[in-house]
Structure formats: structure tokens, C-alpha cells
Amino acid sequence: MDFNLNDEEQAIHDLTEQILGDKSTHERLKQLTDTDDRVDADAWAALAEAGVLGAAIPEEHGGIGLGYMATAMALQQVGATASPVPLLSTAVMGAMPIVEFGTDAQKEEFLPRIADGSLIIGAGLYEEGTVPSEPETVAVADGDGYRLDGVKPMVEAGLDAGLLLIPARMSDGSCAVFLVPADADGVALDRVDVTTQRPVARITLNGVIVGADALLGDGPTDGADIVQWIELRTQAAMCMMMAGAARSSIELAAVYTKERQQFDRPIATFQTVSNRAGDSYIDTEAITLTAWQAAWRIDQGLPAEDSVNIAKWWAADAGFRVVHAAVHVHGGVGVDRDYPLHRFFLMARQMELTLGNGEEHLEALGRSIAAS
């Protein structure tokens, strides 16, 4: 296992760090919270110009042609800045499955627009009371195409998306994945305010008619495999984001506890504070190591299910401990909504529960071990 980045992956990491460090400043993010802007358009355009959005898109479609790891490294920096850019939904949940499963026509139509930043994708994986590969949304044959009906209650970047990735259940019970224009007749988008204070979309599909060319993959029976493929990479990507958020949280705590004085000495020298800081450092290293391992195995085409379950457990369980400890050692400052730490706390709490909490992934890991 080699965690050294190649030159291209390191360049994507460094470019993302520089762009988001310059664009997604504390002052800029505070400004965005006072507007209706859900995406930092300046940062998004800069990432497109630098090639970050097209890192995993083949060169013939306007990208750079790198693997999963390059985008994962960019997402770690998104987590480290809590930047409101839809890189997870567009690059991992949208571009990557189109690259892997899409038809030539789908690749030609969508990938160049993703790479240049003009197309945002929202993926409707989550539905209440079921798993993503067994959706309640239905697709019924209608002439040469399909009619879609259902609800996707929590779609990240759905309010800004031009294209929606929609898993649906066919009449024979199999799963299919459709690429649906967000402005198609019968698509209703409603705002849902969530923990991160960045609204997502509740998407209602009411008799939405799409052609057979909207199917992603070779046919409807491939849909469950496609959804599980997307879910695996999305989980690992969120773990990389959590690694970035945890690192930034403990760095903020380190600076604050060195500067904050009580009894004429920095509170960082108090045993309880230093113990919590040490535990948080260990947790952050574990989150980062397991996230990198999961991303590396995906990048290398190796079985990654167990590694992703391990990484998600660490990200969910230890991620909560890290941001909670950071808030605690800040005292009253830690609960100030205008302080940067608040964004990392909210991000960590939402990612902890997105697409399954830590206990669910621990159970999945246990089943895998028992079956081996």
C-alpha cells in the first residue's frame, strides 16, 4: 500500500488547497450565509479553470483523465474549508458513474459541461425506509421511454443542479438509474433546510417522461450494481471530507488554546485540555489513515467494501468526538455561529449520518468478517 501521491494528484491537491484557501475565506463564507447563494460561484469557476472538476474525466471529454484519488484529495480540501462547492455530488456521484457506465452520447453531452463547471449534478440516492439500491421511486415503460414517479427527499445540490441522477424501481422489481434534466416536465424542487445551513432539495417526480437514452448503463438490470458502485465511492469521499474538517477543527483548537490565558498561562498547558487535544489528534489521524486507505483501494481497483466501512465508522464516531472536543475547549467561543469552527461542527454532524451512521457500517463490517 503506497499513500504517496503522484505528481498529478499532488497538483490537484495543491491547486484545490490554494483556490479554496483564497476564495472560501471565513469572511466570504459569512457573506454567503447572508445571501441566497447556495454555491460559491467564484470558487466553483476557479476549480473548473484549474481542471479540478474534470480531474477524473477523460481528456477526450475535456478532463485530465486521472483516477479516483485525485478527486478524493480535492474533497479533503473541501472538507478542510467547509467550502460550499458541489464537488461531491457533481464529480463523484455524477461524473464518475457517467464515465464508467454512460453511453458515448451521454459522455459527449454531459462530461465536457461538468469539466467546465457549467453543469451541476444532484444524485437522488436517499429515500426514507429503504436502501439506495432498492428505491421506492418507480419507472414504468411508456412508449419508447419511461414514466418516473416518486420522491427523493434529500438531494445535495439539487436546487442548483441541471441534471439529476435518479435510481428507480422497474416493474419487474429490478433497479435502473436515469439521467433526468432538472427542468423536465413533472419535476418539482422544494427547498429543505438542513444541519449545515445549506439547503438541499426535496425532488418530486410526478409523471416525468424520459426517453430510453436517459438510462445509465446497458440496461435496467444493471441499476443496483451502479447504485452500489456510486454509494461506495461517495462514502469514501465523505470520509476524505471528514478528514479535512477534523484537521481544521483541531488546528483551530490548537491556536485558540495557545492564546487563551487563564491563571496567567495558556489553557493548552492544562492537563485536561492537553489530554483532549491529544485524543483528538489521534482520532484525526485514524480518520485520515482509514479514509486514505479506502480511497487508495478504490483508485487501484481493489475490493474496498470493508475498507470503506472501517473508514465510515471512524469518520462518524471519531469525527463527532473531534469537533465536539474542539467546541468544548473553545468554551463560549465554540458555540458562536460566526466563528469558523461552527461550520465544521455542522458539516461533521451531517456527514456522520449521511448514507448510514457508524453503527450501520460496523454491522456491515461484522457481517463481512463473519462470512469470510
Instruction: Judge contact between 52 and 62, C-beta under 8 A.
Output: no
105-157 pLDDT, tens digit per residue, is 999 999 999 999 999 999 999 999 899 999 999 999 999 999 999 999 999 99
For the domain 224-371, what is the CATH superfamily, name and number?
Butyryl-CoA Dehydrogenase, subunit A, domain 3 (1.20.140.10)
Cell of 60: 477526450
Task: Determine the pLDDT at residue 295.
Answer: 97
Q: In the chain, where does the domain assigned CATH 2.40.110.10 lie?
A: 123-218
**Percentage helix, strand, coil for the chain under 3-state DSSP, each rounded to 5:** 55, 15, 30
CA angle (353 as vertex; 348, 356 as ends), nearest 5 = 140
Give me the CATH code for the 123-218 domain, please: 2.40.110.10
Task: Determine the pLDDT at residue 219.
Answer: 66
Cell of 212: 430510453
The dihedrals phi and psi of 29, each to the nearest 5 degrees, come to -70, -35
Q: In the chain, where does the domain assigned CATH 1.20.140.10 lie?
A: 224-371
Amino acid at the residue 28:
R
Residues linked to residue 138 through DSSP beta bridges, in sequence order: 149, 169
Q: For 252-320, list the strands marked E by DSSP.
A: 261-262, 265-266
What is the assigned CATH class of domain 7-119? Answer: mainly alpha
Q: How far apart are CA 81 and CA 242, in angstroms?
A: 11
CA angle (251 as vertex; 239, 42 as ends), nearest 5 = 70
Task: Determine the pLDDT at residue 220.
Answer: 63
Helices (H), 91-222: 96-101, 104-115
209-245 pLDDT, tens digit per residue, is 999 999 998 766 679 999 999 999 999 999 999 999 9
Residue 23, burial from CB neighbour count under 10 angstroms (0-12, 13-18, 19+): buried
Which residues of the chain have a pLDDT value below 50? none
